[in-house]
Chains A and B, each alone.
Chain A
Amino acid sequence: MKTFLSSNTAVWLLLPLLTGAGYIVAETGLGGVAIAAAVLLVTLLKGELVVHRFMGLAQVGWRWRAIMSAYLLLVLGLIGVAYGLAL
């Protein structure tokens, strides 16, 4: 079970679920800070899954992973700030 959860297949099953969740939220027409934050957090999680599992950075030195995580946090965080400015 532990092996499956850390496998590419488990990540592949999880990513469409997260995408589908975001799609459903958007289809409902909901907006607001909470929805935006949730969508950005889901996007951050999806990005981290791709970086760690598909790109294979889970096994490399933490500095490389930190670069990618910092990138995701910075870009998605600033997108959130920009969204907040528009409210």
Chain B
Amino acid sequence: MNIDTVTLSPAGKSPATLITPYLQPTSMSSTLPDSDLPRAQPMPGDLAMWFFIFAELLVFGIFFLAYAFARANDPALFTAGQQTIDQTAGAINTMLLITSSYAVAQAVSAIKRDALAHCLRWLGLAIGLGLGFIVLKLAGFAAITAQGINLSTNTYYMFYLSLTGFHFMHVVMGLIILAAVLRNAWRGAYSATEHTGIETGASYWHMVDLVWIILFAPGLCCTKGALL
């Protein structure tokens, strides 16, 4: 805004009245010159959650690399182990988490429009899909342990069970967070102007999805058989 705007303004309006619209975040895009757009927004949700997410990604990253380089030392063992894993279940689980992540993104988008009913429905769908992942993964773990396989069986299964088990615990944690978010949304804690809480929970859930997407890749790099 330049000074001419103020001096040439209609009589009777104070400078404060003229400036106020420029201080409203929602009106920025319609008032600023195009050269100033788009403005970078702050990280969605609570910044503390993002530091937690970065720490989690670091741990998973080290885990992934330990797996990959252990495989490099004995590719035959890892390929044989991967062929015993149900790849179809892994693909279905990927679809479940991707869709659940999408549902959470839609819930955040809905609350930003003050569409609470839509937000609640999307959150419910996200939790349902997450529970589907849990059921399928538990069935997978049961099938493996029924064959007498455990962490001590060999290096491949040590990595497989610990990596997927570690991720599984994050899914459980994510579902608890989403349930808390759903409860808060139900109680009217979020709105178009206050949605930090739901964005914080959503960011964690997307991290769980992101980790799974990477987790699904190493197995696909080999001949038939996936890590998950």
Contacts and interface: CB of A to CB of B under 8 A. Distances in A.
B44 A61 contact: no
Interface string A57-87: 1011110100100011011101110110110
B223 A31 contact: yes
Range of interface residues on chain B?
A: 35 or more
A39 B218 CA distance: 9
Contacts of B207: 55
A26 B61 CA distance: 23
Nearest to A8: B105
Nearest to A42: B217
Contacts of B104: 54
Contact of A8 (B64, B109, B220): B109
Interface string B43-64: 1100000100010010001001
A67 B54 contact: yes
A83 B69 CA distance: 8
Given A15-B98, A76-B214, A82 B38 contact: no
A36 B79 CA distance: 14
Interface residues of A, number: 49
Contacts of B61: 71, 74-75
A79 B64 contact: yes
A83 B38 CA distance: 41
Given A76-B214, A79-B217, A23 B40 contact: no
Contacts of B222: 31, 83
Given A40-B221, A79-B218, A8 B44 contact: no
Name the residue in A57, A83, A86 with the highest tally of chain B Cβ atoms < 10 Å from its Cβ: A86
Interface of B: 38, 40-44, 50, 54, 57, 61, 64-65, 68-69, 71-72, 75, 87, 91, 94-95, 98-99, 101-102, 104-106, 108-109, 199, 202-203, 206-207, 209-210, 213-214, 216-226
Given A46-B213, A82-B69, 7 more contacts: A26-B219, A26-B220, A60-B43, A71-B61, A72-B214, A83-B68, A83-B71
Top 10 nearest A-B pairs (CB, nearest first) are: A82-B68, A12-B102, A43-B217, A86-B75, A36-B221, A61-B40, A29-B224, A31-B223, A85-B72, A86-B72
